[in-house]
Structure 1
Amino acid sequence: MKRALVAVGAVVLFASSTLAQQNDGFFMRDAVGMKSYPAAPRLAERAAMVPAVVLPAAATSIPDAILAIQDWNASGRQPMRNGVRRRLPDVVDMHLSSAIAAKSAITAFGRGVVEATSHGTIVWSTMIRVENAHRIRLHLENVMLPDGAVLWVYGAGQTPIGFGRELMDGNGSLWTPSVSGGVVYLDVEVSSMNAATSFSIREILELIDVGVGSIHTEDSPTCLVDATCVSSSTFAQVSSARKAVASLFFVTSDGGAVCTGGLLNDVASSGTPYLLTANHCFHDQSSASSLEAVFDFQTSSCQGNFNRDTSPTVNGAQWLVSSSTSDFTLVKLNSIPSGRVLLGWDANTSVVSSGTTLHRVSHPVPGSDIFPQSYSSTLVDTSTGTCTGFSRTNFIYSSSVGGQGGVYGGSSGSPVMLSNGRVVGQLLGSCGPDPSAGCDVRNSTVDGAFSSSFSSLSPFLSGSGATPSVCTQNSTTMCLADGRFAVSATWRTTDGQSGNGQAVRLTSDTGYFTFFSATNVEAVVKVLNACGLNQKFWVFAGGLTDVNVVLTVRDTKNGTTKTYTNPLRTPFQPIQDTSAFATCP
């Protein structure tokens, strides 16, 4: 199956919940979570630094990787790929300390340059070049950033993009925002009084011009409809929908990928920037942390020009919940720009009866470009055949016969909406004789049903008390089970000494704590995802101590916390809790 085009939005200035399973949209005049940053130091640029690392052009150095992406997209596999992860021939290791405050002049340091400023900060900067690159992102690993640290990334002559620890995932790494062109600068500024900072850059993500190969026999890209050309007589809520939909760029283990997503309103109209997309796009914190959501990516006029770089973009999100059952993912964006619409929704199955018109706004990729907002509509068809593994209980089937527009890769995850603008699902893809043919009316369009997803979404959208947060890896907290669980420990001795355990993460599931010395391991912890076995997350721990230990494990997805206590003067008793957290998925 392949990604299809799907729709968005409703706008209602005052939201209300008329039924437990439906909600109206909400207009957000002001931005949420948008931060302002000081001017970037641009140290490496000012110092005319030569590149720390140079990578040759992908087309000549890794042609097989580019062909693999093109073949993947041409076959209609999902999600649509648009980038390749490339290892650097030389690692950029950066370690700052307060001792560098003595360096008042620009000095070569750690494959970059460093300078102590007159206002009590230390700045480090580097530059990497990738020949003939379209866009670049840097992968920072083993990241340790002090409070107040600010980073900027930018291309030659471009406006710097500021960010901080909010982009870190549970593994202690982050992907920088992308910059266009073949040169990327990175600046870091920290207080000279608290300068302990370190990370490594071992790889970059090179984003390429994507393509899906040749057009199929029954395929005509001219079926696509520019959403700017669509009036309210076609879709009453089209203007609201366009303020809710974003083109999504993110990183997976296979490289860069693209989808579409839409903002959702909660019952309380709290303004929380929930965003709905597809599970097959991504379903973990690592990809959510790497997310770039581009809003208002649209033509300047009907069939006019478009430029992604001029559209407001937000970076990073907290992954909340995903399921392959109805193919959905819900995240909370770190921020949203002003003038957004948070879409309403309806989880009642009766509203998607046969013949119901469904509307979609998404970002298809029919050729070499990711298209600006495009509109399509289909009609629910409850009599057509289904695809294996995608039952009508969990998915909505519709036909483009009698509708307009088409479906292509890149549209995956876009919200599908009723004429009143309420979301009833999100796009899975196409099912039929040639699902890769975006305009082939013989295909059915398949959307994950909101009614099926609602039991998992309602704790967030209906305000049932869930208190999600983000696990931040630091010296006293390790993030386990793909960054979902925050694990910390405290200790106390017989003579009254006490403190926080120092956390060291070994794998995605396992880590250990030291209490008195970095070379003396005191407790080992493991958190496992056993949802496929008994619908639980398991916690295992063992200790090499008899001091009082309080081990705290918190599920950041919903705030559920468990503590395990080892009494003073008692050898640490093994913990084998295979019913620890009944919080799947």
Structure 2
Amino acid sequence: MNSLIRAACLGLLVSALAACGGGGDEPSDPGNARGSDASGPVIEGYDLAARAVPKSAAAPAATPAGVAATPVRLEALPEAARTAMAGRTPASGQRNPVRQIGQGRALAATADVQSTARLLNWQPAPSGGTAAAARFHSEGATALRLGLRVERLPDAATVRVFAPDGSDSVAFTGEQVRQTLERNAAAGFTGAVGRTFWLPPVGGPEAVLEIELPAGVAPQEVQVAVPQLSHLFVDLARGKDAFLKIGEAGTCNLDASCAPTLQEETRAVARMEFTGSDGGSYYCSGTLMADVPASGTPWFLSAEHCVSDQASASTLVTYWFYRSASCNSSLLSPLATRVFGGAELLYASGETDTSFMRLLRSPPAGVRFAGSLLVAPPVQGAVAGLHHPFGDLLKYSAGLMESYARCDGLRCEPQSSASGARFLRVRWQSGTTEFGSSGSALFAPLGGRQYVAGQLFAGLASCAADRRFEPDYYGRFDLAYRARLNEWLGTPPVAP
């Protein structure tokens, strides 16, 4: 998360390129945008339903054991903290390209292993083993994420988190927790940050943590703490039509369900939620990527300023088919699905603002693996974006790739030649991008199909009248592919 924090600081200090944005007046199908098609080698996209997908590890029983939970309570945040988080855009117009949706809060009652052990009351469980639980309350939160710090946890243990009424229950085995922490350690996170397992978000101001042990495993084998939680100001966990964020985006955003030429690609885009080492939680957008053999491996592309390290990738939650049920309906699709389990970070580079991961749990059936363009798109070529501004239902933007660009920090300058330019400068003819759009893919048309050409870094424009036609900047996918991504995505065969 260090890169994310640095980006946040820059966002407060630099007025240029401090927000992801772009805009236009009249909705239009991206297929009708004026501009030349791309050309060059590509990796073809494909549908998940037509491919064999590696099976995820079997999930443990999510049903709570039902033991009494010891309460842990935090009072309401100070008014200043609530106001700062609620104020999505400072009056100056300067904005951080990553959308923050929650902040960390320290928990003195469970700050270390010893205090947590005193608080947990182990009781007989219906399974024949034992279980203990703690009920955390953060006054004023819309949702909570608990940070479980692990010193020792048996592989056979089951760790659950759920709402006080037993709903929204999610479970992990001790083995799954250990594997996540081992990935953190292998990436260099050997301290407290690497030993913290962030449980999925639970809607509401309360979340119950329950640990269940099978018969024959002593409670003394459990050495854990919950030194902090993430106090969220939006509800990520309710599911179905109680999902929030519908209608949050600016009014110049365009419903992706109204873009016929992008319907295949809409199934490749996910809303992302992740938590940093300080307990802050954030939104971005990301895209499921195809490889040459169409293996079904869930490769996932976003921005380095969103997910820059393994500890952050381990906290990733993705939301699929988070789109309207029909064009301009503002009703959530019944297919909307949330997937936990985090990701393995394979490549992160600030040079093209690229974050490339492998999701550790498969996305739902029906998703699309997006194809990619392995050369830079042409100047004045038609492009389109698919993204989740402010975490809202999926939106699209349509415009032109105006020029290449060099970026130094958040300052970008146009460049006529692709040589030495690591970014694409895009100007929208319709639609826009906002907070939460960061990391979303830029698509270029070729032969009637759409291919990923970059991922969103930053930009100047928004729905504001004085910024409707300012540019956005995307990291070049072709450069990231040549640098490292070809190792995982493969090399397409050369045409005879």
TM class, shorter-chain normalised?
A: 0.7 to 0.9
Which residue in 2 is equivalent to 1:397? 425
- CA change 1:224–1:43 in 2 (3 A) is same
1:244 Cα offset (Å)? 0.9
Q: Which has the higher contact order (CA 8 A, sep 6+)?
A: 2
Q: Is the 8 A contact 1:73 1:409 kept in 2?
A: no
Residue 61 (structure 1) shift: 7.8
C-alpha distance in 2, partners of 1:137/1:298?
24
What CA distance in whole angstroms lies between the structure 1 residues aligned with 2:459 and 2:217? 54
Residue of structure 2 in register with 1:474 after alignment:
none
Deviations 1:385-410 (A, max 9, x none): 9774566521111211xx31111110
Q: Which residue identity is paired with 1:288?
A: A
Quick one: distance in 2 between partners of 1:463 and 1:383? 25
Q: 1:244 aligns with which of 268, 271, 276?
A: 268
Query: Is contact 2:388–2:436 with CA below 8 Å preserved after alignment?
Result: yes
Q: Secondary structure at the match of 2:311?
A: helix
The offset of 1:230, in angstroms, is: 2.1
Q: 1:68 & 1:406 partners in 2: Cα distance?
A: 20
Which of 291, 294, 306 is 1:269 aligned to?
A: 294
Does the 8 Å CA contact 2:432/2:462 hold for their aligned counterparts?
Answer: no
CA drift of 1:225 comes to 0.5
Counterpart in the other structure of 1:203: 228
Residue 294 of structure 1 aligns to a residue whose secondary structure is strand
Residue 432 of structure 2 corresponds to 406
Matched with 1:58 is 77
1:420-459 map, 5 Å: 420-431=449-460, 437=464, 440-454=467-481, 455-459=483-487
State the Cα distance separating 1:156 from its structure 2 match.
2.8
Q: Which moved more, 1:337-346 or 1:193-202?
A: 193-202
| Aligned residues of 1:22 and 1:344 also touching (Cα < 8 A) | yes
1:92–1:111 contact (8 Å) kept in structure 2? no
1:342 aligns with 2:369: yes
Are 1:176 and 2:199 counterparts? yes
Aligned residue number for residue 363 of structure 1? 388
Structure 2 contact 143–204 (Cα < 8 Å) conserved: yes
Q: Which amino acid in the other structure matches residue 25 of structure 1?
A: G
1:161 aligned partner, one-letter code: V
Distance 1:456 1:430, change over 3 A: same
Which among 354, 358, 370 is matched to residue 332 of structure 1?
Answer: 358
Q: Flag the 1:436–1:198 CA change in 2: closer, same or farther, 3 A.
A: farther
Among 16, 22, 36, which residue is 2:59 paired with? Answer: 36
**Paired-residue identity, %:** 23
- Per the TM alignment, residue 227 of structure 1 is displaced from its structure 2 partner at its CA by 1.0
Provide the rounded CA distance (Å) in 1 between the counterparts of 2:365 and 2:92.
Answer: 34
Who is 2:398 aligned against? 377
Contact 2:125 2:131 in 1 (8 A): yes
8 Å contact kept, 2:285–2:439 = yes
Rounded to whole Å, the distance in 1 between the matches of 2:142 and 2:334 is 12
Distance change in 2, residues 1:38/1:138 (3 Å): same
Does the CA-based 8 Å contact 1:261-1:413 persist in structure 2?
yes
- For residues 308 and 439 of structure 1, the distance between their equivalents in structure 2, rounded to whole angstroms, comes to 34
Q: Which has the higher strand share?
A: 1
Q: Which residue in the other structure is 2:150 paired with?
A: 142
Structure 2 length-normalised TM:
0.75
CA distance in 1 between partners of 2:137 and 2:426 (Å): 47
Aligned CA distance change for structure 1 residues 167 and 208 (closer, same or farther; 3 Å):
farther
Which residue does the alignment assign to 2:29?
none
Aligned to 1:163: 172
Q: Rg: which structure is higher?
A: 1
Tell me how large the CA RMSD over aligned residues is. Answer: 3.3
Q: TM-score, normalised by structure 1?
A: 0.64
What does the per-residue CA deviation read over 1:174-193, in whole Å, with 9 as the maximum and x for residues that have no partner?
Answer: 10000110110111222333
Match of 2:378 in 1: 353
Give deviations 1:98-127, integer Å, cap 9, x for gaps. Answer: xxxxxxxxxx97323322336443222111
Query: 1:273, 1:73 → 2: CA distance?
Result: 40
Q: Secondary structure at the match of 2:274?
A: strand
Letter in 2 for 1:227: A
Partner of 1:286: 311
Alignment pair present for 1:83 and 2:102: yes
Task: Provide closer, same or farther for how the CA distance between residues 129 and 421 of structure 1 changes in structure 2, counting only shifts above 3 A.
Answer: same
Deviation for aligned residue 1:421: 1.8
- 2:208 equivalent to 1:190: no
The gaps in structure 2 that reach 5 residues or longer are 1-16, 24-38, 186-193, 236-248
Determine the C-alpha separation between the residues in 2 that align with 1:308 and 1:299: 5
Match of 2:118 in 1: 110
Give, in whole Å, the separation in 2 of the partners of 1:73 and 1:253: 29
Answer yes or no: is the 8 Å Cα contact 1:93–1:110 preserved in 2: no
CA distance in 1, matches of 2:478, 2:372: 10
Quick one: which of 258, 268, 280 aligns to 1:229? 258
Partner of 1:480: none
Alpha-carbon distance in 1 for matches of 2:437, 2:348: 18
| CA shift in 2, pair 1:62/1:74, >3 Å | same
Do the aligned partners of 1:5 and 1:427 also contact (CA within 8 Å) in 2?
A: no
Match of 2:31 in 1: none
How far 1:273 moved relative to its partner? 0.6
Shift of residue 159, structure 1, vs aligned partner? 3.0
CA-CA distance at 1:456 after TM superposition? 1.6
SS of 2:110's partner is: strand
Contact 1:380 1:398 in 2 (8 A): yes
SS of the aligned residue for 1:381 comes to: strand
Counterpart-to-counterpart distance in 1, 2:316 and 2:157: 21
**Contact (CA 8 Å) 2:45, 2:290: kept in 1 or not?**
yes
Indicate the larger mover: 260-269 or 455-464.
455-464
How far apart, CA to CA, are the structure 2 residues paired with 1:307 and 1:205? 26
Partner Cα distance (1:177, 1:439) in 2: 39
TM-aligned CA deviation for residue 223 of structure 1: 1.5
Distance in 1 (alpha carbons) for counterparts of 2:224 and 2:170: 19
Question: 1:267 deviation in Å?
Answer: 1.2
Asked if structure 1 preserves the Cα contact closer than 8 Å seen for 2:198 and 2:315, the reply is yes
CA distance in 2 between partners of 1:394 and 1:383 (Å): 8
- Give a deviation string over 1:44-99, Cα, whole Å, max 9, x none: 4xx3x452x11112254844763787649962113221110011132265689xxx
How far apart in 1 are the matches of 2:444 and 2:385?
A: 9
Q: CA–CA distance in 2 between the matches of 1:438 and 1:247?
A: 27
* 2:255 partner amino acid: D
Matched with 1:582 is none
CA deviation vs aligned residue, 1:537-566 (integer Å, no higher than 9, x gap): xxxxxxxxxxxxxxxxxxxxxxxxxxxxxx
